Amino acid sequence: MDCQLYLISPLDVSGDFPARLENALSAGPVAAFQFRVKGMDQHQAADLAAPLQAICAAHDVAFIVNDDISLAKRLGADGVHLGQSDGSPKDAREQLGREAQIGVTCHASRHLAMEAGELGADYVAFGAFFPSETKMTEHRAELELLQFWNELFEIPSVAIGGITPDNCGEIVAAGADFIAVSGAVWSGNEAAAVRAFASKLGRAG
């Protein structure tokens, strides 16, 4: 399967963001959208999520909640993405059910990824591969990690961190199943950015 695009929301999804998400998802193929907000109560987060979840459903894009198993359950989301301190994939599976897509941040660690797989993760995320303006990057991953994982394991890998249409080719060539992007799409014209990624992913595939 060709490498696919995985969009991560900016921290501010208020205002005209639903229209921007519609523009992005209409511009080219997107596999998943991660709802990532910080520092707000669950009621407020749920209110912001509702229109975005509907847009994703209309485009057949998986709606994934960042960090919060209980919010994912409340929303009936397609899945949850867990950081290393956000709970176990096993717990998430018990709460969200067999069909939920559960991802785990594994930084640059083969060990964390194998552990996540053993606990039932549906995908593992590695990064950062490049400096990111969206998030502080404590961990730097190398392309060899993607190659290693792709050759030995069937669980899909997601590459994250500073990925743009200009530098994604080597990530795809190394075997990533998904590239997760935020700033590269939302810091400018989101539709043009999705089209640029689509053209690169199509060629690389």
Encoding tokens for residue 180?
């997760």
Q: Which amino acid is at 27?
A: A
Q: Report DSSP state, residue 70.
A: H
Q: What is the CATH number of the domain that holds 8?
A: 3.20.20.70
3-state secondary structure of 25: helix
CA distance 197 to 27: 10
φ/ψ (deg, to 5) at 6 = -125, 110
| Each residue's pLDDT tens digit, 181-199 | 999 999 999 999 999 999 9
Please answer whether residues 37 and 47 qualify as being in contact, where contact means their C-beta atoms are separated by less than 8 angstroms: no
Measured between its terminal Cα atoms, the distance across the chain in Å is 8
**What is the domain range of residue 39?**
4-204
What is this structure's pTM?
0.96
Q: Which of 84-88, 115-119, 180-184, 199-203 has the lowest mean pLDDT?
A: 199-203
Q: How many domains does the chain have?
A: 1
CA distance 15 to 17: 6
* Residue 184 C-alpha from the chain's centroid: 13
